């Protein structure tokens, strides 16, 4: 499972000009499910998101997590995170998980975040979405449940 996590002061997702998810301060997270990912990957990602200390404390050091600041998470499914652009001019998506399993794991991550008492807003799986945000910092991290970057 692979994510891009952005610290934001606000973010929203629209489908057909209708806002379907919106947060103020918190994390905008793009999540891609890869072949072979399972519930332990979902648990790893949810735990990281809830506990990652990337918000500034009173001394401007990254010491606070999304719960500490009473923030929220906007979770967006994004299979293109598993796109392979190394060969040719068009990405290959052989490493992306098949949609039914990917959706189940996407929903599992959202469920686990909610169980940690962090509000979660979501996009809609397999829909064309327009995501807008105000990146705070900018602060962005790439995480993968199976790799070190």
Residue 149 clears pLDDT 80, i.e. is over it: no
Count of structural domains within the chain: 1
- Distance separating alpha carbons of residues 114 and 76, to the nearest angstrom: 15
Answer for the pair 27, 71: CB distance below 8 angstroms, yes or no: yes
The answer to whether residues 29 and 73 touch, using CB atoms and an 8 Å cutoff, is yes
Structural domain contains residue 149 = no
- Residue 55's nearest CA partner among 66, 46, 47 is 66
Identify the band that residue 96 occupies on the pLDDT scale cut at 50, 70 and 90: very high
76 lies in a domain? yes
Tell me: pLDDT of 110 over 90.
yes
Query: What does the pLDDT read at residue 147?
Result: 85
Q: What is the pTM of this model?
A: 0.95
pLDDT band of residue 49 (cuts 50, 70, 90) is: very high
Predicted confidence (pLDDT) at residue 12 exceeds the cutoff of 80? yes
For residue 63, give Cα distances in angstroms to 37, 51, 117. 30, 10, 19
CATH number, domain containing residue 59: 3.50.80.10
Residue 131 pLDDT exceeds 90: yes
Q: What average pLDDT does the segment 116-128 reach?
A: 97
Q: Which domain holds residue 13?
A: 2-144
* 59 falls within a domain: yes
Residue 148 confidence (pLDDT) above 80: no
The whole-angstrom separation of Cα 2 and Cα 44 is 11
Provide DSSP, 48-90.
HHHH---EE-TTS-EEE-TTTTT-EEEEEE-GGGG-B-SSSSS
Q: What is the pLDDT of residue 123?
A: 97
């Amino acid at each position: 499972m692979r994510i891009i996590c952005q610290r934001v002061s606000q973010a929203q997702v629209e489908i057909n000009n209708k806002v379907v998810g919106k947060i103020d301060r918190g994390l905008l997270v793009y999540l891609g499910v890869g072949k072979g990912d399972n519930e332990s990957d979902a648990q790893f990602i949810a735990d990281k998101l809830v506990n990652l200390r990337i918000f500034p404390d009173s001394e401007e050091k990254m010491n606070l997590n999304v719960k500490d600041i009473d923030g929220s998470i906007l979770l967006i499914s994004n299979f293109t995170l598993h796109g392979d652009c190394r060969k040719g001019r068009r990405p290959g998506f052989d490493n992306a998980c098949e949609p039914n399993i990917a959706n189940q794991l996407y929903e599992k991550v959202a469920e686990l975040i909610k169980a940690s008492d962090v509000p979660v807003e979501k996009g809609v799986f397999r829909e064309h979405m327009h995501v807008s945000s105000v990146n705070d910092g900018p602060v962005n991290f790439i995480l993968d449940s199976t790799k070190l970057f």
